[in-house]
């Protein structure tokens, strides 16, 4: 595939990967929504309407929109992809050998579209005809294959750095199987033939929401609830060894729900500007990691680590600019906290000085416009129940180089 990849957060967006929410969201109940990482039970039909409007807003700006479930259906025509994904779906110690085999046989008989739906929406006990000890001990509504409602947030399970894609290692058990789907699509779909994968789900925890492409050759990686220090170091070694970056900024963030990823507190909206949660703007620090030697093996690279230094200063130095402009979330501390919780920081730049944002963050959006940023507003009252905004819901596959 030609013309893929990204070297920044703000180059004109050409192709993006989305996932339209579907029956997997209908699996959410007040009993399981916390375990499945949602703060509430969304109104699914409205969430779909909001997502359709988001996708259309991107198309209206000339962006090609790819849907993950459609790509998945297409790769399930390939026996190797089917085998990999079914094996991953039944790889669960709760099930035992008998139920694993019965579930795999059931899934193996499904047509590609039905199998794709099952891999995403899951399979409940009462939807499967089986026998054996484990099957009898499961309750009727219990999941044999759990659903993947967070697949909506396509940013997390893969991220492009240059012309290579990092299939990430998701930290939360409810999300770990998402990466198997993403990896299968990138490995088997003809659209991505020849694309190199620079990371894998078997490696240290790393999530795409923690990865910001500040400028060509400059990558920031948040370390907190989802991405580990080992994941940040592994990504640094990978991008250095492949010549995809010269500097990686490792940014510790609070390990809590409101700041689960770096992109929940800061996102780029121009080549030299970001919207940032003011409560952390002065306290955020970064360790600057560079590569001292050019060893062939990534594990043998000698890394140089400097810091910590104030994040904004370290970022500007690495980017080769005088300073990084900051547009505050909100206007006062209370509004800032509310709009940060409602993903006011989580914007998706579709070109320099053009960003998609949730309409409800009125104060932050006004501040963006006052700073010269065009805001493309979308609804997100139901989409936001999983704690993610426009950036979380999108994986750029192709951006223009700046």
* Cβ within 8 Å of residue 110, ≥6 positions away: 118
Q: What is the widest separation between alpha-carbon atoms in the chain?
A: 67
> Would you state the structure tokens that stand for residue 307, as one six-digit string?
């810091």
| HEC profile of 107-157 | HHCCCHHHHHHHHHHCEEHHHCCCCCHHHHHCCCCCEEECCCHHHHCCCCC
| 8 Å CB contact between 359 and 379 | yes
Q: How many Cβ atoms are within 10 Å of 35's Cβ, its own excluded?
A: 12
Written as one string, the DSSP assignment of 17-84 is: EE----TTGGG--TTTTTTTT-SS---HHHHHHHHHHHHHHHHHTT-EEEEHHHHHHHHTTSHHHHHH
The H or E element that residue 281 is part of is helix 278-281
- The single residue of 57, 72, 392, 397 carrying the catalytic annotation is 392
In the residue annotation, 392 being an active-site residue is answered as: yes
CA distance readout (Å), 385 to 114, 304, 392:
27, 40, 12
- The strand pairing partners of 351, in sequence order, are 354
C-alpha to C-alpha distance for 121 and 1, rounded to whole angstroms: 30
| 8 Å CB contact between 394 and 375 | no
> Would you state the structure tokens that stand for residue 286, as one six-digit string?
């970064």
| 8 Å CB contact between 66 and 17 | yes
Which of 99, 132, 213 has its CA nearest to residue 166?
A: 213
Strands 266-270 and 273-276: antiparallel
List, by residue number, the catalytic residues: 392
């Amino acid at each position: 595939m030609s013309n893929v990849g990204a070297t920044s957060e703000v180059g004109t967006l050409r192709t993006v990967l989305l996932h339209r929410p579907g029956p997997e969201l209908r699996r959410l109940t007040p009993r399981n929504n916390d375990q499945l990482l949602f703060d509430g039970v969304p109104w699914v039909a409205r969430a779909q309407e909001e997502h359709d409007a988001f996708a259309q807003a991107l198309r209206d700006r000339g962006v090609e929109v790819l849907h993950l479930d459609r790509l998945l259906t297409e790769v399930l025509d390939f026996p190797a992809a089917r085998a990999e994904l079914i094996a991953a779906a039944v790889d669960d110690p709760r099930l035992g050998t008998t139920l694993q085999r019965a579930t795999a046989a059931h899934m193996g008989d499904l047509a590609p579209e039905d199998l794709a739906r099952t891999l995403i929406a899951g399979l409940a006990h009462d939807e499967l005809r089986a026998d054996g000890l484990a099957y009898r001990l499961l309750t009727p509504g219990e999941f044999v294959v759990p659903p993947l409602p967070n697949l909506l947030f396509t940013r997390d399970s893969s991220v492009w750095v240059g012309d290579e894609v990092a299939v990430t290692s998701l930290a939360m058990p409810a999300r770990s199987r998402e990466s198997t789907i993403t990896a299968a699509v990138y490995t088997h779909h003809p659209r991505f033939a020849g694309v190199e994968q620079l990371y894998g789900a078997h490696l240290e925890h790393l999530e795409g929401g923690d990865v910001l492409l500040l400028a060509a050759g400059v990558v920031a990686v948040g370390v907190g609830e989802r991405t580990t220090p080992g994941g940040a170091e592994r990504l640094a070694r990978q991008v250095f060894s492949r010549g995809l970056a010269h500097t990686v900024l490792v940014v510790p963030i609070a390990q809590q729900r409101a700041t689960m990823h770096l992109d929940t507190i800061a996102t780029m909206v121009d080549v030299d500007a970001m919207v940032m949660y003011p409560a952390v703007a002065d306290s955020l620090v970064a360790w600057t990691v560079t590569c001292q030697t050019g060893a062939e093996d990534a594990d043998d690279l000698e890394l140089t680590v400097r810091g910590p230094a104030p994040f904004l200063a370290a970022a500007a130095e690495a980017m080769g600019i005088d300073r990084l402009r900051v547009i505050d979330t909100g206007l006062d501390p209370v509004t800032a906290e509310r709009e940060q919780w409602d993903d006011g920081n989580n914007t998706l730049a579709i070109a320099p000085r053009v960003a998609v944002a949730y309409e409800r963050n009125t104060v932050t959006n006004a501040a963006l416009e006052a700073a010269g940023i065009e805001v493309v507003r979308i609804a997100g009252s139901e989409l936001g129940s999983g704690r993610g905004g426009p950036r979380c819901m999108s994986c750029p596959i192709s951006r223009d180089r700046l």
